[in-house]
Structure 1
């Protein structure tokens, strides 16, 4: 069983919902025992959670205290973190075996940076139309001189799913 944190936009970006669904479908095929970790149930996180539940994947939602009142679908495991948005992201990323960045803004990029700093295998989908697409231009392989992990950029949601499923200690580099 692999716990995969999914970082995705908390708002809406045209076409990103379809990419999220393709990622989840491919993930269910490649890792049917995967557990998805998400930071809420709004924006494109809804797309990930709903697709995962349809495919029979387990989902854990890490809610920030500002959004503990959100209605969640039946079948998700909820963690009421008791802390604000960024703090809940620490808990989510720390709990993950690998991190998949599907596209987003500053919150998504913060989660990517946290994953890097924690040495988590980190995979970033590019071509999403979201601000996180700029990560590859700014940081082609590493976010800093420590070279904590190789950041792996992929072109398709299906490739992202396969890479995340294969991730383990030292595995991220083989996809880079």
Structure 2
């Protein structure tokens, strides 16, 4: 996440961190917005997912997977980068079609490269936006 935040800062993009209780004392990049939730990581994940138009999963472990499931349950699209070398890579093998629940339908789009994901992300328009 540090690399993503640094790249966003270098590109002049605003950076917002939604921080769980255990990370509130950490140092964050100058000029970023830090929301210290006072919540544990699972509760904070729900706020994080509900605050965005899309969830981008760049690799991780149980916390990232938890956020993917939360996003799908709320109808928030997930853009998922494969090939990170992290435990989340196994996820695409389980749900190849991007459907984790037939009642919800496809909620995950998989990408093989950062460039492909960014192109889709930059062209994404949230539901209800004109």
Instruction: Mark yes or no: TM-score above 0.5.
Output: yes
TM-superposed CA distance for 1:149, in Å, is: 3.8
SS at structure 2 position matched to 1:160 = helix
1:144 alignment counterpart: 101
1:118 alignment counterpart: 74
Gapped regions of structure 2 (runs ≥ 5): none
1:6-155 aligned within 5 A: 45-140=1-96, 141-155=98-112
Aligned CA RMSD, in angstroms, stands at 1.5
Q: 1:60 to 1:139 in 2, by over 3 A?
A: same
CA distance in structure 2 between the aligned counterparts of 1:127 and 1:67, rounded to whole angstroms: 27
**Are the aligned partners of 1:101 and 1:108 in contact in 2 as well (CA < 8 Å)?**
yes
1:158 alignment counterpart: 115
SS at structure 1 position matched to 2:122 = helix
SS at structure 1 position matched to 2:56 = strand
* TM, length-normalised to structure 1: 0.68
**Are the aligned partners of 1:142 and 1:149 in contact in 2 as well (CA < 8 Å)?**
yes
Gapped regions of structure 1 (runs ≥ 5): 1-44, 170-176
CA distance in structure 2 between the aligned counterparts of 1:136 and 1:67, rounded to whole angstroms: 29
Which is bigger in relative contact order (C-alpha 8 A, separation at least 6)? 1
Task: Give runs of ≥4 in structure 1 deviating > 3 Å.
Answer: none
CA distance in structure 1 between the aligned counterparts of 2:88 and 2:112, rounded to whole angstroms: 13
TM-superposed CA distance for 1:50, in Å, is: 1.1
* TM, length-normalised to structure 2: 0.90
